[in-house]
Structure 1
Amino acid sequence: MRTIKQTGSTNADLLALTKQGVAEGFWLRAEQQSTGRGRLSRHWESPQGNLYCSTLVRLRPHDPSAGTLAFVAAVAVHEAVCLYLPPERVVIKWPNDLLVDGAKLCGMLLERTGDAIVIGIGLNIACHPEGLDRPATSLAASGAGTIEPAYFLETLADIFARWLEIWRVQGLAPIRAQWLKYAHGEGTALRANLPDGTVVEGFFSGIDADGALILRLANGTSHVIHAGDIFLI
């Protein structure tokens, strides 16, 4: 585990380090980022006091689908956050955003190079951005008290390693079950902005065996979504 004062993006740094043979399980944390990114290349505000980190998974021949590591990350961060907040307040939004009382607390970004999957995690601990297109919050604003990002990461790294081993040995099924336990409830109204610009609205009807989102449409049919930007309605 390595901590640096400031960088552009921990994901970008770790993607570069993979070419130098960095081992699985390595974590890189920055106290601040200048070019942090979320999904769809959104800028991720990165003031001091929050958690900005990335870790590395080296894919093995018999691992589950690489994309399902998004769910491993989601359940691991959820478990770590729930050491500070009641689980009923912390909801996972497909595929791996964390919401507290409906406001975004954490986002994650997975990127691949060769056999390496870099998982970036941005968690609002001390503060959160204002004026976004969706509400945001932090652990501090949610009543969790003062938390040191480095201490939080030590706990998270252990939890993530445990869930990663479950994923490798038992497959996606137990990860999926844990994810569904804490996800937005069945029938939650969702809007999906798809990569081709299409907008689909429907009701949450679970995820399939590979982790794709299933929406029940108003006409009673189901729509399966493999990628998109999801909003609670």
Structure 2
Amino acid sequence: MLETVDSTMAEAARRAALIDQPTWIMAHTQTAARGRRGRAWQSPVGNLNATLIFRPDATPAEAARRSFLAANALFAALAIYVPSEKLALKWPNDVLLSGGKVAGILLESSGQGPYVDWLSIGIGVNLRHVPSGVTDAAFAPTSLMAAGGWEVEPGDFLATLADAYATQEAKLKELGFARIRQDWLSHAARLGEMITARTMREEITGIFDTIDDDGNLVLITGTGPRAISAADVFF
């Protein structure tokens, strides 16, 4: 537990060479938190700012699929404090609560060979506060308390989340990614509906059909199925 840090992801990277077991790093405040594609992430005191760093026996592609384990774990943890029907998982790595973004996931890894040396899973959850001044988000931020959920301290929530994530890793080991994928799809936002995926090069609109075995978003478009590996999703 840290009082203040630039970001828990940066701290995890600094400690990577020293870890010998899965380690959660949590900070009360972050001064330079970030989300996907370098976007700023606000982290007021009372919200969860945490990163899990560990050494999975995984290729880069297998490590990347851990975002779905983290999303499933977040869903399970949040569902203890708010009715589960208010929650949904938005591809690739967000959790929605009553239609607003309540949590985000960021993955980083390092390794030059066929397997990653380490993987960091950064998780931010708006437990108590709704970040202010966010005007360019596709989904307006919300918080657990703002949506009528129970009040919970970050440390207590992290304990719940850590248990839920460990359960996901056990499922992956015993049942494979197919089970993780199935669980994620059972809570997916707008499955079977028309959505838009905006990549760095184009905008693709189609019916959200599934995610494939690699975790790609699959849309049914006018020209057939499209598998999309990275994009921002709008609906």
Is the TM value for this pair above 0.5?
yes
Q: Give the equivalent residue in structure 2 for 1:146.
A: 151
In structure 1, what residue type is equivalent to 2:226? Answer: H
Counterpart check, 1:27 vs 2:24: yes
In structure 1, what residue type is equivalent to 2:215? Answer: G
Q: Give the equivalent residue in structure 1 for 2:100.
A: 103
The TM-score normalised by the length of structure 2 is 0.92
Counterpart check, 1:39 vs 2:36: yes
Deviation at 1:186, TM superposition (A): 2.6
Please identify, of 199-208 and 57-66, the stretch whose mean Cα deviation from structure 2 is larger. Answer: 57-66
8 Å contact kept, 2:89–2:188: yes
Deviation at 1:187, TM superposition (A): 2.4
Q: Give the equivalent residue in structure 1 for 2:170.
A: 165
Deviation at 1:12, TM superposition (A): 0.8
The separation in 2 between residues aligned to 1:178 and 1:63, in whole angstroms, is 22
The TM-score normalised by the length of structure 1 is 0.92
Q: Give the equivalent residue in structure 1 for 2:14.
A: 16
8 Å contact kept, 1:27–1:55: yes
Deviation string, structure 1 residues 141-190 (Cα, Å, up to 9, x no partner): 01113210000001111111111121123210111111011011432232
The separation in 2 between residues aligned to 1:180 and 1:7, in whole angstroms, is 35
Q: Give the equivalent residue in structure 2 for 1:4.
A: 2
Q: Cα–Cα, structure 1 residues 24 and 169, in superposed 2: closer, same or farther, change >3 Å?
A: farther
In structure 1, what residue type is equivalent to 2:38? Answer: S
SS at match of 2:210: strand
8 Å contact kept, 1:129–1:136: yes
8 Å contact kept, 1:64–1:171: no
* Structure 2: runs of 5 or more not aligned: 112-116
8 Å contact kept, 2:23–2:52: yes
Of 140, 151, 158, which aligns to 1:135?
A: 140
Q: Cα–Cα, structure 1 residues 62 and 135, in superposed 2: closer, same or farther, change >3 Å?
A: closer
8 Å contact kept, 2:43–2:131: no
Of 129, 154, 160, which aligns to 1:155?
A: 160
Deviation at 1:26, TM superposition (A): 0.6
Paired positions, count? 227
Q: Give the equivalent residue in structure 1 for 2:202.
A: 198
Deviation at 1:64, TM superposition (A): 7.5
8 Å contact kept, 1:52–1:122: yes
The separation in 2 between residues aligned to 1:125 and 1:8, in whole angstroms, is 20
Structure 1 vs Structure 2 CA RMSD: 1.6
Deviation at 1:227, TM superposition (A): 1.0
Deviation string, structure 1 residues 109-164 (Cα, Å, up to 9, x no partner): 00001221100000000011243323110001011132100000011111111111
